[in-house]
């Protein structure tokens, strides 16, 4: 049989095991464990396949579409800027000679891109104004207003500020 000393040692071990067991039971489960244990059930698989996965796919498509729209807008901004530079640089001699009305008329008529053939400079500036923001938008508003004022010095300085003229 066991001696009293061994019985005491076994009793102490059992008490220790019981305390450790109670600590483990009393400890709250970590949230990560709860999530993984939920996903391991049939209900968890259902929720993840019917709700979470479609949401992630929709979100990815939304981000991709937003980026595509951004790229399209950036290309259109560059195209309109290029169109304005072409129109102004080809007709700058009339402005320098003081023929503001002729300059504006020629700028409205000339074009490089077929899609802008019927659009005047004011229309292009309005379209560009709606696509940009901040200081770019302010520069375009100033340039558009200077064309409306038909004052040579205002037109020259506003076009220079925007980078459409030298």
pLDDT at 34: 80
pLDDT at 127: 93
Per-residue pLDDT tens over the stretch 37-91: 887 888 888 888 888 889 999 999 999 988 999 999 999 999 999 999 999 888 8
Confidence of residue 31 (pLDDT cuts 50, 70, 90): low
- Where does residue 120 rank: exposed (0-12), middle (13-18), buried (19+ CB within 10 A)? middle
Kind and range of the H or E run holding 134: none
Largest CA-CA distance found in the chain, in angstroms, rounded: 123
Could you count the other beta carbons within 10 Å of the beta carbon of residue 137? 14
**In Å, how far from its chain's centre is CA 155?**
33
Ranked by mean pLDDT, the top range of 13-17, 30-34, 93-97, 149-153 is 13-17
pLDDT at 10: 92
pLDDT at 161: 84
Per-residue pLDDT tens over the stretch 106-154: 999 888 999 999 899 999 999 999 999 888 899 999 988 988 888 888 8
Per-residue pLDDT tens over the stretch 91-102: 888 888 888 889
97 near 152, Cβ under 8 Å? no
pTM of this structure: 0.60
pLDDT at 92: 86
pLDDT at 96: 87
Which residue shows structure tokens 């292009």?
Answer: 124
């Amino acid at each position: 049989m066991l001696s009293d000393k061994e019985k005491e040692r076994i009793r102490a071990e059992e008490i220790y095991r019981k305390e450790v067991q109670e600590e483990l039971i009393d400890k709250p489960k970590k949230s990560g464990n709860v999530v993984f244990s939920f996903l391991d059930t049939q209900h968890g698989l259902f929720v993840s396949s019917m709700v979470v996965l479609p949401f992630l796919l929709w979100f990815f498509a939304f981000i991709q579409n937003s980026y595509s729209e951004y790229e399209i807008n950036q290309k259109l901004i560059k195209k309109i800027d290029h169109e304005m530079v072409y129109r102004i640089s080809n007709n700058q001699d009339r402005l320098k000679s003081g023929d503001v009305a002729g300059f504006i008329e020629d700028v409205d008529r000339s074009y490089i891109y077929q899609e802008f053939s019927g659009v005047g400079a004011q229309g292009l500036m309005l379209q560009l104004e709606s696509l940009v923001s901040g200081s770019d938008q302010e520069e375009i508003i100033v340039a558009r207003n200077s064309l409306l004022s038909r004052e040579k010095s205002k037109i020259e300085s506003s076009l220079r500020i925007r980078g459409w003229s030298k």
